[in-house]
Amino acid sequence: MREIFNWVASVYPAASGGEWSPVSHGGSDRRFWRGSGRAAGLVAVHYGEEKAENGRYAPCADFLHRHGVQVPAVLAHDAPGRRILMEDAGPEDLWSHREESWTVRRELYGKALAQLARMHTLDLREADARQVLCEPFDQDLYLWEQDYFCGNFLRAEKATAARAAVAMAAQARQLAAQPRVLVHRDFQSQNVMVKNGQVTLIDFQGMRAGLAGYDVASLLYDPYVDFSTEERQELSEVYAALAGRQDSGIWQSELEACARQRLMQALGAYGFLGVQKGKPAFLQYIPVASERLAALCEKNEEWHPLARSVREAARIFPS
C-alpha cells in the first residue's frame, strides 16, 4: 500500500519520510496505519467499497467537529481513491480501561456520555441537508436488524423464537414511532478513544436519525465490557441528567427496549462475522451478549420465549 503513503506525502508534506504501522480495527473493510517519526500524530485510512457509509466519514467528521463534538480532525480526503488522512486519537479506547477502578471508569464514561448528549442535540435537518446521514431508524430498519439476528444467530432456534415474533414486531413499531435525534449508531467501548484523560468519538460514519436510547444501550450493554447493575444504572442516570430526560420511567423503558434491539443486532453481527466472514474472534462475545439479551427478555412475559431460544442458540456456536 505504498500508494497511500505517497498520497499522504503529497497532501501533507511534513509527514514525508515518516514511518507507518498497521492498526487492527474491527470487522470492517477498512485498513488503518498509525504514523510515527515525521508522521507522528497521523492516521492513514484506506476504505473499501463494501459499505457506502465509509465514504461519508470525512463529511461526518467535519459536521460533528463544527458543532463541538470531539472527533478526529480530517486533514485530507481523496474520495475517488477512498483514502483519508486524519488526526491520531491515540491507541487507547474505553475498552482498554475496562479493568480500571470504577472511579476512573466512571469519569471516562461520563465524558463519553457528555459527548454523546451533545451529538444528540444537533439539528437533523442540517445534517440531512449536508448529506451526512444514513437511512433513518424506521420500522423497516428495526425489522431488518431482527431478521439479521434470526438469520445469523438464532438459526436452528428460529422456529422456537417465532413465538416472540409478535413482541419483536411490536417493538419495531414502538421504537419507530418515537421522536428521533442524531445517533452515532455504533457507540461502544472500542469507538471511544481516550487520550490524556479526554475522549474522542470515532466510527460515526453510520450516524442517522434514531433513538438516544439505542446509543446509550450500545455503551451500557456493550458485550466487550462488564458492568454491575448499579454501575449501569448510575451511567443511565448520568446520561438522563445530561440530556434533560426527567421522565425516568419512560427513559428506562426506552433504554431497555433499545438494549434488546441492539443486542439482537450485535449477536447477528457476531454470527455473521464469525461464521460467514471467517473471523472467529467475534464468536467469543456471544456468551456475554446472549446472556444479557436473555436477562432483558426475562423482565417481560411476552419476551420469555426469546430468552429460552437465545440461550439454546448460544450453545451451538463454538467457544
Residue with cell 450493554: 221
Give pLDDT < 70 ranges for the chain.
Answer: 1, 25-27, 156-161, 319
In-domain check, residue 12 = no
| Per-residue pLDDT tens digits for 8-49 | 999 999 999 999 999 976 657 899 999 999 999 999 999 998
- N-terminal to C-terminal alpha carbon distance within the chain: 35
> Domain check: are 128 and 68 in the same one?
no
| Per-residue pLDDT tens digits for 223-254 | 999 999 999 999 999 999 999 998 889 999 99
Query: Is the alpha carbon torsion for 172, 177, 178, 183 positive or negative?
Result: positive
Residue 2 pLDDT: 85
- How far from 313 is each of 16, 32, 306, CA to CA, in Å? 52, 34, 10
> Domain check: are 264 and 214 in the same one?
yes
> Domain check: are 149 and 290 in the same one?
yes
> Domain check: are 83 and 100 in the same one?
no
Which letter does DSSP use for residue 126 in this model?
A: H
Burial 94-115 (b: 16+ CB within 10 A, else e): beebeeeeeeebeebbebbbbb
> Domain check: are 53 and 107 in the same one?
no
CA 8, distance to chain mean position in Å, is 28
> Domain check: are 83 and 102 in the same one?
no
The secondary element (H helix, E strand) that includes residue 32 is: strand 30-36
Helices (H), 18-56: none
Residue 223 pLDDT: 96
> Domain check: are 30 and 142 in the same one?
no
What SS3 class is residue 177? Answer: coil
Residue 164 pLDDT: 83
Q: Give me 271's grid cell.
A: 454470527
Distance CA 258, CA 60 (A): 24
Q: Give me 3's grid cell.
A: 500508494
> Domain check: are 124 and 273 in the same one?
yes
> Domain check: are 168 and 194 in the same one?
yes
Residue 24 pLDDT: 78
Domain hosting residue 72, numbered range:
19-87
In-domain check, residue 8 = no
Looking up residue 39, the CATH number of its domain turns out to be 3.30.200.20
In-domain check, residue 175 = yes
> Domain check: are 35 and 153 in the same one?
no
In-domain check, residue 14 = no
> Domain check: are 113 and 228 in the same one?
yes
Looking up residue 195, the CATH number of its domain turns out to be 3.90.1200.10
Q: Give me 83's grid cell.
A: 483514502
Residue 242 pLDDT: 97
Q: Give me 165's grid cell.
A: 415474533
The secondary element (H helix, E strand) that includes residue 84 is: strand 83-87
Of the three residues 70, 87, 104, the one that is the final residue of a domain is 87
Of the three residues 60, 87, 114, the one that is the final residue of a domain is 87
Domain count, the chain: 2
> Domain check: are 61 and 181 in the same one?
no
